[in-house]
Every structure is written in C-alpha cells, then in structure tokens.
Structure 1
Amino acid sequence: MPSSNTHASYGSVAKVFHWLTALLILANIGLGLLATWQADAVQAAGAQPGPEEIARAAWLFSTHKTLGLTVFFVALARIVWALGQTKPGLLNGDHRAEAVLAELVHWLLYGSLVLVPLTGWIDHAATTGFAPIWWPFGQGLPFVPKIPHVAELFATLHYILQWVLIGAIALHVAGAVKHHVIDKDATLRRMLPGHTRGEPTAKQPGHTLPVIGALAVWAVALLGAGYLGWFPSSHDTAPAAQSAQTAPSATEAGQWQVTSGDLNIAIQQMGQEVTGHFSNWTANITYDETPDAEGVHGAVEVSIDTASLSLGSVTDQATGPDFLASGSFPTANYKATLRQNGDRLNADGILTIRSIEIPLSFPVTLDIDGDNATASGETIVDRRAFGIGDSVTDAGSLAFDVVISFDLTAKRAE
C-alpha cells in the first residue's frame, strides 16, 4: 500500500493518522467522563473520600490531560502531512448539500482536534495544582498566568468545544455508515487497510462555504453558551491577595498599620508544587526599634479567615472537613513575640489551627525606613500536627510539610 494519497485513494500514513486519532479521541472522551464522575464523588457534599478515591481521580485526570496533549500533537502532525498531500475527492460531490455538509464536518473535526486539547492545556497551565500532565516539560505555558479567571474561562471553552467535536464525530460516523450501507460506495473502504480506490465525481464542493459554515457552528456554540451564562463573569486579571487590617489605637506606642501584603502557602501534591493564598486576614503589630531588656521589640497577632483560602483546583477540598474544616473552624490564629536573637529578628509564638495549638518560631526579615516598613518571612509546618488531611497518609500523594510565607508593607501609626 503506498504511503501517499492519490486523487482516488488514501495512503498508509493518512490511514494511520486517521485511526490513531480516532482511538485517542474515543479513549479520552471516556476518560474525561470517568474523571469528572470521580471528581464529583470526591467533592460531593458530605463526602469523606479516602486517599484511594482522591488518587484515582487524580490519575484519571492526569491520563486524560496527557492523552489530550497527545491528540494535539498528533493532530498538528496530521495537518502538516495533509497539507503536502493530494486530497482524495468525494464520491458524491455532485450531491451539493450533502457534499458541503461533509466538508463542513471535516473542517469542524480538524479545527476541534486543535482547539479542544489546546483550551484544555491552557486551563491546566492557568490552574494551580491537581493532576499533572505526565511529561518532563513542566506544567505551565508561556504567557499563560496562573489566574483563576483565565483557568475558568478556558475550562468553559474546553467544555463547549468538546461538544462541537463530539457532534462532528457523530455526523462523521453517520456519514460513513450511510455511504457504506445505503450508497454502497467505497468511501469507508478507502480508509480501511488495503488499497481500495474510489473514483471521485467530477464535481466537487469548494472550500469557502464549508469553512464559513464551520465558523458559524463555533460562533453559535459560543454565543449560545454566553447567552446561557456559562462564561465566568469576573474580569479580574490577578488573584485578590489583600490583607484586612484592624485600625490600631492611636495612643498605643509602637503600633503599625498594615497597608498591603500577601499570606501564602505551598504544598506538594503528587510531586508537583501547588501554591495558594488567603485573601482575608488581619495583623495587629506593635514594634519598637529599641528592644527591652529581654530583647523584645514587640508582638504580632494574626487572624486568618480559613474559608478565604484559594488553592487552585483543590480549594474546595482544602477548606473541606478533612483539611482546614472552615465550616467548623473559620479562623486560624498566630500570636507571637518579636524578639531579637543575635543578629536576626525572630517571631516566637503559637499557631492555632482547628483549635490545635502548636509552638512556631521563625526568622523575620524587616526593613524600616522612617515611618514605613517592609517585612517577610517563611516557615514550614507539618499538616499532621493539626489533624489536617489525616486520611491522606501517603506523602507522595500529599506531602506532610506545608510552606507558609508572608510579605507585607506597614506604616507607623500616628
């Protein structure tokens, strides 16, 4: 069997691309459905999934994403090959309406084979955490920021375009069956193993009308989704990581008013770093540049709204009953003394999460310029000490260490 196409037959390379793509797509549609069902079961209200269920959902999504990326590159290779090949003509090109529909479906298929995995890839790149792609080239994409709105937008596009693809596949299969069973021509047989020829009709449809039709289908699908309110309404371009500071007493010496800052966490999930932030927290700070006789400069008290955590695609799980349990324990606290320890400043205090108190000390970097100050710090805690994620005992699935970091700017109160 020749490797190249002729005007009446497909070559071996085109056939391999066709059936490989079909196998990958059908497998990935099934995997996507299974992954979604498993994730719904894990995140269902009142569900208390074990590590096996969580790992199964992650494995299904990772496999789905990896196969989707394979479809993307196979599709690109198939398009590049097709551009240099003769395209066998239709066997019913003189049936204008049917021929135009067949070409329109082919344009939908080729476009969707690129758009569906690409939108899914961008959604993954913009999302923090959960179910990595199994390849060595990283999880991000150039020019794709890790912003929840971007991830939600492309997740919606991925969902819409996948149904266009599924519809196009259904029409494509129906057309092949019609040719084989009703018309009894060689349309289907030309794509099967062997060297079957099918002489095309002299009249063939042009490209203009099918291309316009395919664009119209995508436009109707997107406009319809917009009309139904499927697209995210937020237009934020960055996560809202703001500190909420209680106004200090003007009569208390050494008080500082936080003007801005970030409170972040980082975890390791399935060997990949997942970063997040708390958008609602308060910090009451007293600090005097001159320490007392015991080396104490002041104190800090931080109150954190645990429900304000944003941790990418696992936010709901992280704030759920088995982890931070925000419904039962809405606030975490840290109270510490700011003490000079040699040439560095230390925060020595107690961290309280889920009503469990654990001593926590770590160095703080502080820079004061007149009445303005910047501060930052980082420490590591073991989630097991607070009863967080006790059902996940495998550190490979979810590491025990959690990195907590902050940076802030503050102004001396008058």
Structure 2
Amino acid sequence: MTTKTQHYHPLHIALHWLMALMIPALFGVGLWMTGLDYYSSWYKTAPDLHKSFGILLAILLVSRLVVMRRFGKPAALSSGWQQKAAGIAHALMYTLLLAIMVSGYLISTADNRGILVFGLFEVPGFGEFFPEQADIAGTVHFYLAWALIVLVVLHAAAALKHHFVDKDNTLKRMLGRRNAAASSIDKTEI
C-alpha cells in the first residue's frame, strides 16, 4: 500500500542517513580490526561491537524496506538511463547489504556460538553449515564489503551530480527539504 509522493517520508530519511553513517563506519572498523593482534585491548571488543552494529544495521535495513513499502518513495527526477542505473544501483546495494549480513552471520556463528548484541539479546548460532565456513564466509564478506563501498561512493557522487550539475531536488528531498510546488502536490497520508 504505497502512495505516490513528491518527497521522502521522515522515517525513510532518518533511516537513510543512519545507514549512510553506519555503512562506512562498519567498513572502516572491519578493515581496522583485521590488523589487530591478540594483545590489543580492542582484540575482542572491536569484533563484538562490529557484530552488534551489524545486527543493528540489519534491523535498520528491514525497517527501511517496511517504511518504503508503507509510505512509498517519490518518483525519480531523472529519466531514461539515469533512472535505470539508479534502480540497478539501489537493488545492488540492498542485495550486497543482505549478502554481507548473511556472510557476517556465517563467520560469527560457525563455532555454534550466538551473537550477543550490545549485551541486550543474543542472535542464536547454528554452527557450521559447510566445511571451513568461517574462512570462506570471511573472504566473501571482505569482497562484498568492498563492492558495497564502491557503490556507496558512486551513489554519493551521483547525488552530488544531481545537486551541483543538474541542480534538481534529488539530494534536497533526501535531506528533508521540500519546495513549495512539491509540497502542494503531495498526497501522502502520515
């Protein structure tokens, strides 16, 4: 049940920017923690936080998809190849996020232990589903994370191009700014 609108719902905007902060942060921490040695004070803490924030990111992703389904999203301001490219990039980002989350889960639970999330609850582990699961899933996790970061950079560059070159409202809409014409057309039920 979606409604055509000229701007994003405030929940969609909030979830977008939370995820926009978390994804590069998780990527950076993930790279940093692979270089930690056993004697580092962060050796156990960094992976535990990385896993907890990864679970939080999964919750935000599901929430974002629900919000998008419930409130819809505005029509693209561009057309033709740009609109198709944006659709493919968004689908790839969501797919990569999901695959990264699954591979992270497979790394973390290969030893049959669950994932303790900020000390509040535990996501259960089911052990190894295939031989060398943690190593294989770790390699997949690493390369998928790099692919996601490349797409995120392209996504940000496209948003800046829309703002500074095309001078359209694509970025402004995701910042929550509404122009007078778009606000008067909006039919969204909140």
TM-score range, shorter chain: 0.7 to 0.9
Q: Map 1:217-232 onto structure 2 (within 5 A).
A: none
> Is structure 2 residue 21 aligned with structure 1 residue 27?
no
State the structure with bigger RCO (CA 8 A, min sep 6), 1 or 2.
2
Alpha-carbon distance in 2 for matches of 1:198, 1:173: 26
Alpha-carbon distance in 2 for matches of 1:133, 1:78: 20
Alpha-carbon distance in 1 for matches of 2:131, 2:46: 22
Q: TM (normalized to structure 2)?
A: 0.82
Q: TM (normalized to structure 1)?
A: 0.40
Q: Is the 8 A contact 1:6 1:86 kept in 2?
A: yes
Residue 125 (structure 1) aligns with: 109
Instruction: Report SS of the residue matched to 1:193.
Output: coil
Structure 1 residue 92 displacement after superposition: 1.0
Structure 1 residue 195 displacement after superposition: 2.9
Q: Is the 8 A contact 1:190 1:197 kept in 2?
A: no
Aligned length: 180
Structure 1 residue 152 displacement after superposition: 1.8
Alpha-carbon distance in 1 for matches of 2:176, 2:108: 37
Alpha-carbon distance in 1 for matches of 2:180, 2:129: 51
Identity %: 28
**Match for 1:11 among 5, 9, 12?**
9
Residue 153 (structure 2) aligns with: 170
Instruction: Report SS of the residue matched to 1:141.
Output: coil
Residue 58 (structure 1) aligns with: 44
Q: Is the 8 A contact 2:112 2:128 kept in 1?
A: no
Q: Is the 8 A contact 1:9 1:88 kept in 2?
A: yes
Closer, same or farther: CA 132–152 of 1 in aligned 2, 3 Å: farther
Closer, same or farther: CA 88–147 of 1 in aligned 2, 3 Å: same
Closer, same or farther: CA 79–138 of 1 in aligned 2, 3 Å: same
Residue 187 (structure 1) aligns with: 170
**Match for 2:132 among 141, 149, 154?**
149
Alpha-carbon distance in 2 for matches of 1:63, 1:157: 20
Q: Map 1:321-336 onto structure 2 (within 5 A).
A: none
More helix by share: 2
More strand by share: 1
Alpha-carbon distance in 2 for matches of 1:86, 1:80: 9
Closer, same or farther: CA 56–146 of 1 in aligned 2, 3 Å: farther
> Is structure 2 residue 51 aligned with structure 1 residue 68?
no
Task: Render the CA deviation track for 1:243-264: whole Å, top value 9, x for unaligned.
Answer: xxxxxxxxxxxxxxxxxxxxxx
Q: Is the 8 A contact 2:100 2:141 kept in 1?
A: yes
Closer, same or farther: CA 70–183 of 1 in aligned 2, 3 Å: same
Closer, same or farther: CA 124–12 of 1 in aligned 2, 3 Å: same
What letter matches 2:141 in structure 1? H
Alpha-carbon distance in 2 for matches of 1:103, 1:198: 25
Q: Is the 8 A contact 1:34 1:60 kept in 2?
A: no
In structure 1, the gaps of 5 or more residues are: 43-48, 200-414
Q: Map 1:352-367 onto structure 2 (within 5 A).
A: none
Closer, same or farther: CA 196–152 of 1 in aligned 2, 3 Å: farther
In structure 2, the gaps of 5 or more residues are: 183-190
Closer, same or farther: CA 193–88 of 1 in aligned 2, 3 Å: closer
Instruction: Report SS of the residue matched to 2:71.
Output: coil
What letter matches 1:119 in structure 2? S
Residue 90 (structure 1) aligns with: 76
